[in-house]
Chains A and B, each alone.
Chain A
Amino acid sequence: MVKIAEQDTSLLNLFNESRSLIEKDSSPLVNQWRTKAEEAFKQLGIPSNKVEAYKYTNLQPWFKAQYAYSFSENGYQGKIDEIFKCDVESMESHTVFMVNGKFIPGSNGNVLPQGVVIGSFSELAKKHSLIIEKYYSKIAPVTEDGMVALNTMFANDGIFIHVPAGKVVEKPIQIVNILTGEKDLMVNQRNLIVIEENAQARVLFCDHTLTQSRFVINSVTEAQIDATANLDFYNIQNQHNGTIQVGGYYFNQEKQSVLNANYFTLHTGIARNNIFARLGGEHAENHISGLYLIDKNQHVDNFSYINHAVPDCESNELFKGVMDDASTGAFTGRILVAKDAQRTNAYQSNNNLLLTENAKMNTRPQLEIYADDVKCSHGATVGQLDDNALFYLRARGISKEEANILLRFAFAYEVIEKIQMPELKEQIRELVEKRFRGELDKCDSCVVCGQVDKNAMRCV
């Protein structure tokens, strides 16, 4: 019997005390998983840095039962779109709001293609039991990671997206995740995205904080991408530095499907992304990228696991980071090529700039390969800007400061370039450039979406 920490016991107690409240509005098919999750959590607990996968991010100090936890049906009563705007300039989207992990009804009125469903996970799980039965907790297994187990115990609401076969959602589906309230809060948001055969969608998650309280988020997103389907996924994280967020993103890809997933961490407290992709059908294509620009005492840990389960798939991974002040970055990228997954092409690279003597970076690119006809490579670098490039720019009359900014921006641009939506690309490009120029207060809470001034937040 594995001993679990005291705080984990308190989380288990919290679960048992609130279980009836959590289950009240949930689908029985979702409730069915809670006991299994609880069993798994008793074994796994909240991962400390002794768990190999969490070597560089110890979550134990943060996930405790002390946070007030709202199990009521709707955590927010106000009209959220009146106080908060998250617009990408000149980009039309289907925008929905989530407050403290719960869905807020009311979209921006754009008409969805017939059959496409976007809405509250809690509500829609009850209506779409076939989908839940097929995918829920199947893509993100509860037995592997204590955080998934914890989420599955407490899971109640989140976003539910279903794009039926052959449907194409042209406009991006934007989910604005807002954390607000006067009390410190723990949130276990649960999302499910199903893109059926030959369907296409773009999904954009924007994560924000509106008040100064401490927010501890443990979200799990499961995404099924059926054969020849296409998902374009973006996560833009811009939260105050009292935020601790564990974002689990689990993708399952069928044959000839394409996934582009892009992670931008522009501001946060402690961020851990768990990005798992299983290439389960031949000729599936997977492109994952990430950019993290951090300073002060921020900590970002991107953990990715690309599982080439079948032959003839391709994956491409690029993560880049710029660490300022006393921030710490971490990256783990595991590529698994299963036995007989022949003709796999898998590439990965992770490049980092350390700007100050107190910044740190730990990186672990990993290849685990059981098939021989493969082309796999990874590369990782930690360093500074290239002196020769700096001199070349200065010899053309560009000042040292400007040359530094230009090169930093050029460093980051390789990731920005991968954004497939031109309007979003332009917005991020501008923000990153401003960020490097210091023209933008890097502490502003909502640098991404041009939030109205009165809600702008300062760093703690």
Chain B
Amino acid sequence: MPEIRFKQTILECIMATEQDKLLEEVTNREYQYGFHTDIEMDMLPKGLDEEVIKEISRRKKEPEFMLEFRLEAYRNWLKMESPDWAHLKIPPIDFQDMIYYAAPKKKPQLESMDEVDPELRATFDKLGIPLDEQKVLAGVAVDAIIDSVSVKTTFRETLAEKGIIFCSISEAIQEYPDLVKKHLGSVVPPGDNFFAALNSAVFSDGSFVFIPKGVRCPMELSSYFRINAMNTGQFERTLIVAEDDSYVSYLEGCTAPMRDENQLHAAVVEIVALDRAEVKYSTVQNWYPGDKNGKGGIFNFVTKRGICKGDYSKISWTQVETGSAITWKYPSCVLMGDHTVGEFYSVALTNNYQQADTGTKMIHLGKNTRSLIVSKGISAGFSQNSYRGLVKVSKRAENARNFSQCDSLLLGDKCGAHTFPYLEINNNSAKVEHEATTSKIGEDQIFYCNQRGIDTENAVGLIVNGYVKEVINQLPMEFAVEAQKLLQISLEGSVG
């Protein structure tokens, strides 16, 4: 088996050097997306108390139940402490020295591209995110969230014809309060954990997706998150509801400008899948990771959880994590219905002084539930990269199956790669298998590439791309290319 994989890698090496000039382009670049956009902002002053929360809710013209939701979360949060169990060194965060609401002043109308703030459009163009009409052909609908407020949602009409709702969560709260009330907090309750509670109290925007019964969403839905203003925390909230027999694939991408100070990002994503529904959620996370000396960068504390509520439903998480100074993130599946399936595919790459503690939880509750975990960690520089995962089979979960494969690759002798799986099995018909390996990149493979004329840096990039292929293959095509480029950029300078 390894032999075959190696051959593939070599083939890719050769093909890539000949054809893919992109790779050369992206080396010698630091953080490509580190620019700052001057857009007039409508901000609340720094700090957090009940008044600030009431003000957020007021400005967003929210119904009463939302304010209650926020206040309950806030009161929970006050009683909680920042989690310290992860393999992370988190500097103290001053939650009062942060802005909890920042919206572009000229809120663009949604009817036409022309009405979008030109500067904002320029930002999108620089990002290369697919917002213009050409992308109709690519079948991508985008909800872009810049600093907390959803700016533009494309293709709403096409989607509306099928009864699909894809809009910002703020609009959803206005227009579909019943749906939001029913599902918001049903997967991640307001008091779930420290960061989720904070998010529930102050979230300013995010995406809402609703796929009605029997509908297959005809295009990939995509949102793009970007932190722009200084001293702002970004707290977006995403809610996806897939009714019986529906299908949706959702993509999330993130960037942030380069800044010296650390910025906080504490998002919550909730997914509800009803009978036979399937939801695929893909993330390419590329927040600013800080500079070579570990200065600046995003603190990414995210709670993502999906519930397979209906029988035969399926939720699949795919993530490519290359950014952020600190990542604390465990996209999870609660397999409540019978015959439900949860999947988690992850690539986490850390370089310089980045720290990542990421993994998943698979909670088997229903009968004949299955879960699969494929995690590929890559550590370089002085970084620390941990996989942390839980597979829990409850007493009533007959015939549960899980397979986990967690591999770590070390590039350099100053970094760390760690694996902390928890397997809690309370039913004897379960079959649960966990495997993990840690090793460094194969010198023989690099030499083989060298001998074929590929320099070491490119060889490492290519071998790493081979190593993560199983995960990358889960991404939609466009994202896959983007993800490979990102990996290449992030590895820059890691080979001595």
Which residues of A come within 8 Å of B, CB atoms? 52, 339-340, 342, 352, 354-357, 359-384
Q: In whole angstroms, how far apart are the Cα atoms of A383 and B433 in the complex?
A: 8
Residues of B within 8 A of A381 (CB): 431-434
Q: In whole angstroms, how far apart are the Cα atoms of A347 and B413 in the complex?
A: 20
Contact among B395, B408, B412, B425 for A367, CB-based, below 8 A: B408
Distance from B189 Cβ to chain A, minimum over Cβ atoms (Å): 22
Distance from A232 Cβ to chain B, minimum over Cβ atoms (Å): 29
Say yes or no for B439: interface residue by CB 8 A criterion: yes
- Cross-chain contact A383 with B431 (CB below 8 angstroms): yes
Q: In whole angstroms, how far apart are the Cα atoms of A364 and B416 in the complex?
A: 19
Residue of A nearest to B424 (CB): A362
Distance from B14 Cβ to chain A, minimum over Cβ atoms (Å): 27
- Cross-chain contact B416 with A369 (CB below 8 angstroms): yes
Say yes or no for B32: interface residue by CB 8 A criterion: no
Distance from B355 Cβ to chain A, minimum over Cβ atoms (Å): 13
Residue of A nearest to B87 (CB): A368
Residue of B nearest to A349 (CB): B435
Q: In whole angstroms, how far apart are the Cα atoms of A368 and B433 in the complex?
A: 20
Q: In whole angstroms, how far apart are the Cα atoms of A354 and B423 in the complex?
A: 13
- Cross-chain contact A383 with B432 (CB below 8 angstroms): yes
Say yes or no for B354: interface residue by CB 8 A criterion: no
- Cross-chain contact B412 with A372 (CB below 8 angstroms): yes
Residues of A within 8 A of B434 (CB): 363, 365, 378-381
Residues of B within 8 A of A367 (CB): 408, 417-419, 436, 438
Residues of A within 8 A of B437 (CB): 375-377
- Cross-chain contact A369 with B85 (CB below 8 angstroms): no
Distance from A328 Cβ to chain B, minimum over Cβ atoms (Å): 9
- Cross-chain contact A363 with B423 (CB below 8 angstroms): yes
Q: In whole angstroms, how far apart are the Cα atoms of A52 and B428 in the complex?
A: 25
- Cross-chain contact B433 with A377 (CB below 8 angstroms): no
> How many interface contacts (CB-CB < 8 Å) are there between A and B?
114
Residues of B within 8 A of A352 (CB): 425
- Cross-chain contact B435 with A379 (CB below 8 angstroms): yes
Residues of B within 8 A of A371 (CB): 410, 413
Which residues 128-181 of B have a CB within 8 angstroms of A?
Answer: none
Contact among A356, A368, A383 for B416, CB-based, below 8 A: A368
Residues of B within 8 A of A384 (CB): 428-429, 431
Say yes or no for B421: interface residue by CB 8 A criterion: yes
Distance from A347 Cβ to chain B, minimum over Cβ atoms (Å): 10
A364 touching B410 in the complex, CB below 8 Å, given contacts A377-B435, A380-B434: no
- Cross-chain contact A359 with B421 (CB below 8 angstroms): no
A364 touching B421 in the complex, CB below 8 Å, given contacts A372-B411, A380-B433: yes
Say yes or no for B249: interface residue by CB 8 A criterion: no
- Cross-chain contact B438 with A356 (CB below 8 angstroms): no
Chain A interface mostly: strand
Which residues 390-430 of B have a CB within 8 angstroms of A?
Answer: 395, 408, 410-430
Q: In whole angstroms, how far apart are the Cα atoms of A360 and B429 in the complex?
A: 11
Distance from A80 Cβ to chain B, minimum over Cβ atoms (Å): 41
Jot down 22 A-B pairs with beta carbons below 8 A, ordered by A.
Answer: A352-B425, A354-B430, A357-B429, A361-B425, A362-B422, A362-B423, A363-B425, A364-B420, A366-B419, A367-B417, A367-B436, A369-B418, A371-B413, A373-B440, A378-B434, A379-B433, A379-B434, A380-B432, A381-B433, A382-B423, A383-B430, A383-B431
Greatest chain A CB density within 10 A among B411, B414, B423, B432 is at: B423
Residues of A within 8 A of B432 (CB): 380-383
A374 touching B440 in the complex, CB below 8 Å, given contacts A362-B424, A367-B419, A369-B418: yes
Q: In whole angstroms, how far apart are the Cα atoms of A347 and B92 in the complex?
A: 37
Q: In whole angstroms, how far apart are the Cα atoms of A372 and B414 in the complex?
A: 8
Q: In whole angstroms, how far apart are the Cα atoms of A422 and B251 in the complex?
A: 61
Greatest chain B CB density within 10 A among A357, A366, A369, A383 is at: A369
Contact among B412, B431, B438 for A377, CB-based, below 8 A: B438
Residue of B nearest to A360 (CB): B426
Q: In whole angstroms, how far apart are the Cα atoms of A352 and B417 in the complex?
A: 26
- Cross-chain contact A374 with B439 (CB below 8 angstroms): yes
Q: What are the 9 closest A-B residue pairs judged by CB atoms, nearest first? A: A354-B428, A372-B410, A383-B431, A367-B419, A382-B425, A372-B440, A376-B438, A377-B437, A380-B434
Residues of A within 8 A of B426 (CB): 360
Distance from B359 Cβ to chain A, minimum over Cβ atoms (Å): 12
Residues of A within 8 A of B395 (CB): 357
Q: In whole angstroms, how far apart are the Cα atoms of A248 and B190 in the complex?
A: 42
Residue of A nearest to B414 (CB): A339
Residues of B within 8 A of A339 (CB): 413-414
- A342-B413, A366-B421, A377-B437 provided; 17 other pairs, C-beta below 8 A? A340-B413, A354-B425, A363-B434, A367-B408, A367-B436, A367-B438, A368-B87, A369-B408, A369-B418, A372-B410, A375-B438, A377-B435, A377-B436, A379-B434, A380-B434, A383-B430, A383-B433
Distance from A184 Cβ to chain B, minimum over Cβ atoms (Å): 31
Residue of A nearest to B428 (CB): A354
- Cross-chain contact A369 with B410 (CB below 8 angstroms): yes
Residue of B nearest to A52 (CB): B85
Residues of B within 8 A of A364 (CB): 420-423
Distance from B435 Cβ to chain A, minimum over Cβ atoms (Å): 5
Q: In whole angstroms, how far apart are the Cα atoms of A184 and B432 in the complex?
A: 40
Distance from A375 Cβ to chain B, minimum over Cβ atoms (Å): 6
Residues of B within 8 A of A372 (CB): 410-413, 415, 440
Greatest chain B CB density within 10 A among A360, A377, A380, A384 is at: A380
- Cross-chain contact A357 with B415 (CB below 8 angstroms): no
Q: In whole angstroms, how far apart are the Cα atoms of A362 and B430 in the complex?
A: 13
Contact among B418, B431, B439, B440 for A366, CB-based, below 8 A: B418
Residue of A nearest to B380 (CB): A372
Distance from A422 Cβ to chain B, minimum over Cβ atoms (Å): 33
- Cross-chain contact A378 with B440 (CB below 8 angstroms): no
Q: In whole angstroms, how far apart are the Cα atoms of A379 and B432 in the complex?
A: 11
Residue of A nearest to B409 (CB): A372
Q: In whole angstroms, how far apart are the Cα atoms of A48 and B395 in the complex?
A: 24
Distance from B403 Cβ to chain A, minimum over Cβ atoms (Å): 10
Q: In whole angstroms, how far apart are the Cα atoms of A371 and B416 in the complex?
A: 7
Residues of B within 8 A of A363 (CB): 422-423, 425, 434
Q: In whole angstroms, how far apart are the Cα atoms of A446 and B291 in the complex?
A: 64
- Cross-chain contact B423 with A380 (CB below 8 angstroms): yes
- Cross-chain contact A355 with B419 (CB below 8 angstroms): no
Which residues 425-470 of B have a CB within 8 angstroms of A?
Answer: 425-440
